[in-house]
Each structure stands twice: as C-alpha cells, then as structure tokens.
Amino acid sequence: MPSSEISQRHALILDAVHRLLARGAMRHLGRMVNKMHPAEVAKVVRHMDDPAEKRIVMELLERVEDRAEVLCELDEDSAVPIFTELPRAEQLALLKCLSTDDAADLLGALPPELSAQLIEGMPPTEGDEVMELLRYPEETAGGIMTPEFLAVPTTSTAREVIDRLQGAPDAEMVFYVYVVDADGVLKGVLSLRELLTMPPDTPLEEVMVTPVVRARVDMDQEAVARMTARYNLLAVPVVDHEEKLVGIITVDDVIDVIRDEATEDMLKMSGTAVDAEYSLSVGTLRATRLRLPWLMVNVVGGVFTAWVMTRFTDTLESMLTLVAFVPISMALGGSLGLQSATIVVRGLATGQIEVGDLRRVFFREVRVGIMIGLACGLMVGGVALWWGDRWLGVVVGTSLLSASCVAVIIGTLTPILFQYLKFDPAISSGPLVSMLNDVTGLVIYLGLATLLLAYLIPHAG
C-alpha cells in the first residue's frame, strides 16, 4: 500500500476515534480498536493529546497481550505515564506478556522505586533475567539483547535439535541454532534451513559454521547494527568476555536501533536534541530548551560576523556594491560545509567511511569544493563584471572560490576531529559548521576586497 494511502487511512482512523470518544460511544470504539493491529492502536495513542483518552483506548483492548504489544510500540514519553497509572496486578500481567528485553526497557524507564517493586513481584527466573539486562548500559549490545535463545551442545545431532525446537516455545525468532561447549562458550552456528535439510543423524560439530560473527556485551548498539547489515544477518549472538553465549539481538531490535540512531544523528546535526527522543509528546518549554542552546551558537556567530563587518567599514564605504554579494558568499560557504559534514557524518555512522578512507574523502571533497567554487565564482563574478566594475568581479569570483575550498575543509575535518577526540561527530554538523563557514566566508570576502580594491584599483586603467 502506498505511503499516501497509509497516511490517509491513519488520519481517518484517528478522526473516527476522536468522534467516538466525543460521543461517548465506548462500545463502538471498543469493537473498532479490538479489530485493529496493535501497531495501529499505538500510532493512534501516540497522536492523542489527552492522557485520559489514551488510557481509555488502552483499557478498551480486551486482550492483555494486545495491550502489552501496544506498550512496546509506544515511545517512552507515552508508555510510561500510561503504565504507571495502572493497578499493580495489571502492571505485572503486562510485564509477563512482554519479552525479557522489552520488559527491561520498560522497567528501565520507570522510577527506580516502582521498577524495584515490580521486579520483586515477577517470577524469580524472569526477574533475575530482567535484572541481568538492566546491568548493561542502555545503548550497548547487552542492553538490547534478549536472553531467550536456543543453544545446543556440540555433541547434538540434527534430529535432537529439531525435537528440542518443537518443545521450546520461549525461544525468540529461531533463525539460527547456536552450538556451545560444556562451558557455554560459543563454538558454531547453523541456520534453521540448513538444520532441516541435513540428514537427521548428522552431528552438529561436523557441519556447524565457524568462526561465528558475534558481538560482545559492551559493543555499541550502532556497531551491532552495522555488523548485522554488513553480514546480512537475521540475528547476532552476544557473548561475554569469556566468549560465553549470553543472548541474541534479533533483526527487529536492529531495525529499531537503525531508526533511533538515524533520528538521533539528524537531531544532533540540526542542533535540536541530543539526549532525548524528540516526539509529539514533548511540550513547548522542553522543545525550546532542547533547541535553544545550539541556536545560540548561530546567534553568537552572527554577533561575531557583525563585528567582523565593522572591521571592514572603510572597504564597504568605498564600494557599497560589495554589500550586495555578502549573502551569496556566506550562503555558499555554509551550504557547502554542511553538505561535506553530512556526507562524512553519515559515512562514519554507517561504516561506509572507515579510518583508512578519510584521506581519500578529504581530497575528494576539496576537489569538489574547487569545482563548485570555480563554477559559482565565474557565474557571480561575471554578474559583478556586467555591473561595470572588473575589480568587483575579481573580488567576488576569487572569494567564492576561496570560501568554497575553506568550507569543504571545515565541513570535512570537523566531524573527523570530533571522531578522533571520541565525541559524536554528528554534534559537529549543523549550527557549528554553518557558523564557522559564515564567519570564514565573510573574512575571506572582505579581506580580499580590502586587499584588491585598496591596491589594484588605483592602478587600473
């Protein structure tokens, strides 16, 4: 179904929900939401403003499994207020329906006291598994893995594993069968397809694939996502520092990571939000606090730019037409720098640009800057020449070429420098790069104007 049709369908569903709520037609609304997929219900809840209406929609879902799935689909700002107001018995029932990793994510977002009380109320085995996951940092492989996986001894045969699969309803998304030794150390892996097509008496140690692509518990989740994409995996095994298999990360979790990391990078690059998901539930004051700090970088840059212009007052007064081309110089430098920064940041984030590629990327961007600077410099310089002043054309054309080269250098080197200093390179883009290029572009333009107009024009003619 095309995305436009999906959006239109969602708008109709949301409008119908609001109408039924306004009329108090709870029976009709209940029948409606219970026929919807939990993901659709979650989308409706996410776009509702009134917390009371959100709770009503959740309460109308008849199956506790559906309510649990809706909670999984909601962002933290929507799920936590709904969950915390439920009776304790219903909270425990919902947690029981969640997978261990989803339960850990939800409990980790709750107030510590409530989280501890709920873990005490869970069955001992489930509570211990959740506590184990909560020990790991949120954005690591250990923080997003699930301990529900299928591991079999190296001495097993294909028939024994198939029999075990049929009696393992708790194993999550059995794409692969992992083979471990007596100490739980990961030794090999087999796909489910390979297992079902081999002779039943085949020992696994003779046909298992080694070495196994794996993630350590402390590996960053973004690195896990890149690994999954590079090797086209449906699940990634997670091992501890002794190489013991402790969990798996499934493809649905990887998709969430890719989405969240891409969103985080875009927000950082725009200077919007660094430490929180920017969702519709974020209020006006909080949105302002998230966006204002980096925008102040632009304000400071603007003040500094104004100060720079006051240093060249004599140059501007001697030829007022110079002012007309100031916006072009600043806009070209800012746009070019942001383009280069975006290319480098995304390349570093997705693994398409490795450390060994940085030199080649840098010189390619410089060549691009020269070509664009030449094209724009000749065009805009030609316009200045057409206005009747050849030295104005020289100043404009030369400054655009110089500003373009400097802009791509700043845009390329800044994220590389941040990466080297162990900071997120996405922070270096957006307002920071734009501000630096605005200032440098203006200094180059007015500096060249001062040099050429002061020393060359008197000798012209």
pLDDT, tens digit, 9 for 90 and up, residues 83-106? 998 899 999 999 999 888 889 989
Identify whether residues 319 and 451 lie together within a single domain: yes
What SS3 state is found at 176?
Answer: strand
Distances (CA, A) of 381 to 324, 336, 404, 407, 453: 12, 18, 14, 19, 15
How large is the average pLDDT for residues 281-306?
A: 73
Q: Are strands 186-191 and 176-180 parallel, antiparallel or unpaired?
A: antiparallel
- Say if residue 123 is in the same domain as residue 162: no
pLDDT at 277: 45
Cβ atoms of residues 85 and 55 within 8 Å = yes
Give residue 153's pLDDT band: very low, low, confident or very high (50, 70, 90): very high
Query: In the listed set 244, 268, 292, which residue is the last one of a domain according to the structure?
Result: 268
Average pLDDT over residues 134-144: 89
Per-residue pLDDT tens over the stretch 319-350: 677 777 888 877 888 788 888 888 887 777 76
Q: What is the model's pLDDT at position 283?
A: 63
Q: Which of 92, 114, 138 is the last residue of a domain?
A: 138
**Better-scored residue on pLDDT, 438 or 107:** 107
Residue 290 and residue 272 in contact, taking contact as beta carbons nearer than 8 Å: yes
- Domain match, 298 and 407 both: yes
Q: Rounded to the nearest 10 degrees, what angle do helices 112-121 and 88-97 cross at?
A: 70
Instruction: Using CB atoms within 10 Å of the CB of residue 383, give its burial: 0 to 12 exposed, 13 to 18 middle, 19+ buried.
Output: middle
Q: Would 179 be classed as within a structural domain?
A: yes
Using 50, 70 and 90 to split pLDDT, how confident is the model at 269? low
Are 78 and 49 contacting, i.e. CB atoms less than 8 angstroms apart?
Answer: no
User: 274 lies in a domain?
Assistant: no
pLDDT at 279 over 60: no
256 within a domain of the structure (yes/no): yes
Tokens of 37: 């997929």
Range in 32-41, 72-81, 155-164, 203-212 the model is least confident about: 72-81
**Domain match, 246 and 299 both:** no
For residue 147, pLDDT beyond 90: no
pLDDT beyond 60 at 400: yes
In degrees and rounded to multiples of 5, residue 140 shows phi and psi of -115, 170
Q: 14-29 pLDDT, tens per residue?
A: 888 888 888 888 999 8
Residue 353 within a domain: yes
Q: Both 336 and 377 in a single domain?
A: yes
Q: Give CA angle at 384 (378, 386), nearest 5°.
A: 100
- For residue 352, which phi and psi values (nearest 5 degrees)? -70, -25
pLDDT of 306 over the 70 cut: yes
Which pLDDT score is estimated for 24? 87
Looking up residue 314, the CATH number of its domain turns out to be 1.10.357.20
Tell me if 183 is assigned to some domain. Answer: yes
- Rounded-to-integer distance, Cα 335 and Cα 404, Å: 9
Choice between 335 and 145, residue whose per-residue pLDDT is larger: 145
Q: What is the pLDDT of residue 184?
A: 92
Q: What does the DSSP 8-state code read for residue 457?
A: G
Average pLDDT over residues 254-264: 75
Residue 200, domain extent: 151-268
Does residue 293 register a pLDDT over 50? yes
Clarify whether residues 222 and 330 are in a common domain: no
Given 97, 112, 138, which residue is the final one in a domain?
A: 138
Together in a domain, 131 and 224: no
Do both 346 and 422 map to the same domain?
Answer: yes
Largest CA distance in the chain: 97
Whether residue 173 is found in the same domain as residue 102 = no
Enumerate the β-bridge partners of residue 180.
Answer: 153, 186
Domain of 213, CATH number, reads 3.10.580.10
Domain co-membership, 172 together with 214: yes
Q: Is the pLDDT of residue 2 over 60?
A: no
Tell me whether the omega of the peptide bond preceding residue 211 falls within 30 degrees of 0, making it cis: yes
Task: Flag whether 144 is in a domain.
Answer: no
Number of domains in the chain: 3
Do 119 and 187 fall within a single domain? no
Domain of 20: which CATH number? 1.25.60.10
For residue 147, give every residue at least 6 positions away whose Cβ sits within 8 Å of its Cβ, in sequence order, or none. 100, 101, 129, 132, 133, 246, 247
Q: 288 exposed, middle or buried (CB, 10 Å; 0-12, 13-18, 19+)?
A: exposed
Q: Provide the pLDDT for residue 77.
A: 78
Helix, coil or strand: residue 235: strand
Q: Are 391 and 453 in contact (CB under 8 A)?
A: yes
| Judgement on whether residues 11 and 132 belong to the same structural domain of the protein | yes
H/E element, 238: strand 235-239
pLDDT attached to residue 282:
58
CA 251 remoteness from chain centre: 16
For the chain, give the mean pLDDT: 82
- pLDDT value for 351: 66
Is residue 448, in this structure, part of any structural domain at all?
yes
Residue 296 lies in a domain: yes
Residue 190 parent element (H or E): strand 186-191
Does the pLDDT value for residue 427 go beyond 80?
no
CA–CA dist 101, 385 (Å, integer):
67
- Cα angle 29-30-34, degrees, rounded to a multiple of 5: 115
Shortest CA distance to 154 belongs to which of 206, 205, 209, 211?
Answer: 205
Q: What is the mean predicted confidence (pLDDT) over 46-72?
A: 88
Average confidence (pLDDT) over 206-230? 90
